[in-house]
Copies of this chain bind each other. A is one copy, B any other.
Amino acid sequence: MTYCVALRLNRGLVFAADTRTNAGVDNIAQFRKIHYWCNPGERVLVLLAAGNLSLTQSVVSLLNEQLVEREEDPDSINLYNVPTMYRAARLVGDAVRSIRAIDGAALEATKTGFAGSFILGGQIGSEPPRLFQIYSEGNFIEATDDTPYFQIGEHKYGKPILDRVAQPTMRLGQAAKLILLSFDSTLRSNLSVGMPIDILLYERDSLEVRREKRIHQDDEYFKKLSQAWSEALREAFTKIEEFNV
């Protein structure tokens, strides 16, 4: 399994992904699930991926091959020349459909299935930052102020805190704190989600990646956060009046 989450804020975007993949509980490995493409001053695109690793890696490979192809054919469409984030999301969706055409039938014929989903966010030129969730069918939806975040993979344990706290008006550092709390709940409850966590904070109109970090098990901030949150929850619990019937 996997847990990825991204928030769309007025001040930018925050992305995070765990790094654990597993084929059964006795076969786990570490893979980066956050990918980005940056043409400084012009565009930043960040992709989070969950699902069959063969599918998600193939999608990234296809997107990268398109970038190489453009040297031969300058008219070909790729992540570095699409004019909007909407077009970029379509490009990712098309890549998913291309892989489905190759691997879909074989996977669907087994218990494995063809499963994958993606979160794509970023900013191109003067367009405001946008955030999309792309399904394994290649179609996609966009985040709005009503629902400023997307989650893919093991989303349930980490959702209650997001639902209660996420706001488009948050600062990036606040949103990163929220996302890490959402990860903390998920990591406690699901073994198939594992550290380290990759986190990337994109500041609106910066058009470059300045703030990213890999958070390891022994990260001081994460340990403090996790402990403070547990204590705060227990304290808050104590303060509430007991049920009496």
Contact = CB atoms under 8 A, between A and B. Distances in A.
Nearest to A242: B173
A106 interface: no
B236 A240 contact: no
B177 A163 contact: no
A180 B243 contact: yes
A164 interface: yes
Interface string A160-179: 11011100000101101110
A161 B243 CA distance: 16
The majority secondary structure among interface residues of chain A is helix
A188 B160 contact: yes
Tell me how many chains of this kind the complex includes. 2
30 contacts: A156-B156, A156-B189, A160-B185, A163-B189, A164-B188, A164-B230, A164-B233, A164-B234, A165-B237, A173-B242, A173-B243, A173-B244, A174-B242, A177-B240, A177-B241, A180-B243, A181-B240, A199-B243, A199-B245, A201-B245, A211-B245, A212-B245, A221-B241, A221-B243, A224-B241, A225-B241, A228-B241, A229-B240, A235-B236, A236-B236
Which 10 A-B residue pairings sit nearest by Cβ, starting from the closest? Answer: A232-B236, A156-B156, A176-B243, A173-B242, A160-B185, A213-B245, A177-B243, A211-B245, A173-B243, A228-B240
